[in-house]
């Protein structure tokens, strides 16, 4: 005896399934991409602010004039700042202005906020650097 032949099934029509899968995955991929961009920009802003504060503190520690040091620090920090007011640099001498005392430079700026993810401190970056005063010239050193 011969076995009864099984009915032949037609392949299911899968047209459009790729489009549906893409529509489901694309928003997640787009959200992930914007998150990566936002936090990469935040990291870049943190690194720029920290390097700017360190350089300004180093310049202040050898007796460079604060006016031009501040202008240069704010100019460098502006490359990563997206805020309305721009970056701000502030110098302080908590223990005095003699050799061996400390100078503290703080750089504050706003970073990119796409609005999809929360940022620490609402996107405000504050970095501080300290340096020991090495030189107190009679006349402040001018900028180059």
| pLDDT tens figures, 38-86 | 999 999 999 999 999 999 999 999 988 899 899 999 999 988 887 777 8
Grade residue 10 by pLDDT with cuts at 50, 70 and 90. low
pTM of the model: 0.79
141 part of a folded domain? no
For residue 38, give its domain range: 17-132
Q: Does a structural domain hold residue 139? A: no
Task: Please indicate, yes or no, if residue 11 is contained in any of the structural domains.
Answer: no
Burial of 90 (0-12, 13-18, 19+ CB in 10 A): middle
Question: In the chain, how many domains are there?
Answer: 1
39-62 burial by CB neighbour count: b if 16+ within 10 A, else e?
eebbeebbebbebbbbbbbbbbbe
Query: Is there a domain that residue 5 lies in?
Result: no
């Amino acid at each position: 005896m011969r076995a009864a032949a099984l009915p032949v099934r037609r392949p299911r029509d899968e047209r459009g399934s790729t489009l549906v899968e893409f529509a489901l995955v694309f928003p997640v991929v787009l959200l992930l991409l914007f998150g990566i961009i936002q936090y990469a920009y935040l990291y870049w802003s943190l690194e720029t602010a920290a390097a700017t504060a360190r350089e300004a503190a180093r310049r202040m520690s050898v007796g460079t004039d604060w006016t031009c040091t501040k202008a240069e620090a704010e100019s460098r920090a502006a490359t990563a700042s997206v805020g309305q007011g721009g970056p701000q640099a502030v110098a302080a001498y908590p223990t005095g202005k003699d050799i061996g005392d400390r100078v503290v430079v703080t750089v504050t700026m706003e970073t990119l906020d796409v609005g999809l993810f929360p940022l620490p401190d609402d996107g405000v970056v504050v970095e501080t650097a300290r340096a020991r005063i090495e030189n107190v010239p009679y006349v402040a050193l001018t900028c180059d």
